[in-house]
Amino acid sequence: MRKASVERNTNETKIKVAVNLDGAGIYNISTGVGFLDHMLEQLSRHSLIDLDVSAEGDLHIDSHHTTEDAGIAIGEAVSKALGERKGIARYGGAMAPMDEALTRVALDASMRPYLVWRVEFVRDKLGEMDTELFKEWFQAFAQAAGITLHVETLYGDNNHHIVESCFKGLARALRQAIEIDPRKPHEAPSTKGVLGGSL
């Protein structure tokens, strides 16, 4: 079982994360940011990664630090659980519809972190959460997890649906990318023999 735990403590947040990449999508999420909790539950359920997140942050200021640091900690835990990444499929992609919204997600779990974010919102907030913070979470997660991540909402009007299609698309693409390839379960999926750096 590919499992890992991470603790991240700063003057702004205290976060504990545990993941099981070979889980069943079981989650226990508490960040103090209701909408973020809801999205992380979607991430766990649709990736089948068991996810335990406990966060305390400076929410009296805003949700920025908690959102970003949660992305970092979850990404670090996923990367730690992947280890040398031998045997993984490496690539994953998904088209995730949510009512009128449709998001395309493609990723490469290559240890080459990069985010392409082509998502636009029609409102500044969802509940108490600034919609601009979703890019911050995806950026933090991609960087810490060591993945190249492309997220593009092709169309959509409802902010809730747009964000949820982004997280569900990430979940499904991630599920594909981290699965062990039964044809080469002990080899890095790269002509270099290791992942990271130039191909």
Tokens representing residue 109 in the block: 């779990």
pLDDT(197) > 80: no
Residues forming a β-bridge with 105? 94, 151
- Alpha-carbon distance of 34 to 66, in angstroms, equals 12
According to CATH, the superfamily of the domain at 3-178 is Imidazole glycerol phosphate dehydratase; domain 1 (3.30.230.40)
Please name which of 89, 92, 85, 82 lies closest in space to residue 173, comparing C-alpha atoms.
Answer: 92
Q: What confidence score (pLDDT) does residue 146 get?
A: 97
> Residue 64 in contact with residue 36, Cβ under 8 Å?
no
The burial of 29, by beta-carbon neighbours within 10 Å (0-12 exposed, 13-18 middle, 19 or more buried), is given as: buried
SS3 content of the chain, % helix, strand, coil (to 5): 35, 30, 35
**pLDDT digit string, tens, across residues 78-137:** 999 999 998 999 999 999 999 999 999 999 999 999 999 999 998 999 888 999 999 999
Sheet holding 101-108, edge to edge: 91-98, 101-108, 148-155, 114-118
Q: Provide the pLDDT confidence category of residue 193 given band limits of 50, 70 and 90.
A: low
Q: What is the mean pLDDT of residues 131-154?
A: 98
SS3 185: coil
The burial of 41, by beta-carbon neighbours within 10 Å (0-12 exposed, 13-18 middle, 19 or more buried), is given as: middle
H or E segment to which residue 110 belongs:
none
pLDDT(194) > 60: yes
Contact partners, residue 44, CB within 8 Å, separation at least 6: 25, 26, 27, 29, 50, 51, 171
**pLDDT digit string, tens, across residues 19-71:** 999 999 999 999 999 999 999 999 999 999 999 999 999 988 889 999 999 99
Three-class SS string for 68-91?
HHHHHHHHHHHHHHHCCCCCECCE
Contact partners, residue 188, CB within 8 Å, separation at least 6: 84, 85, 86, 194, 195
Q: How many of the other CB atoms lie within 10 Å of CB of 28?
A: 12
Q: Where are the domains of the chain?
A: 3-178
pLDDT(142) > 50: yes
Q: What confidence score (pLDDT) does residue 199 get?
A: 42
Q: What confidence score (pLDDT) does residue 191 get?
A: 53
pLDDT(184) > 50: yes
pLDDT(190) > 70: no
Tokens representing residue 66 in the block: 């908690």
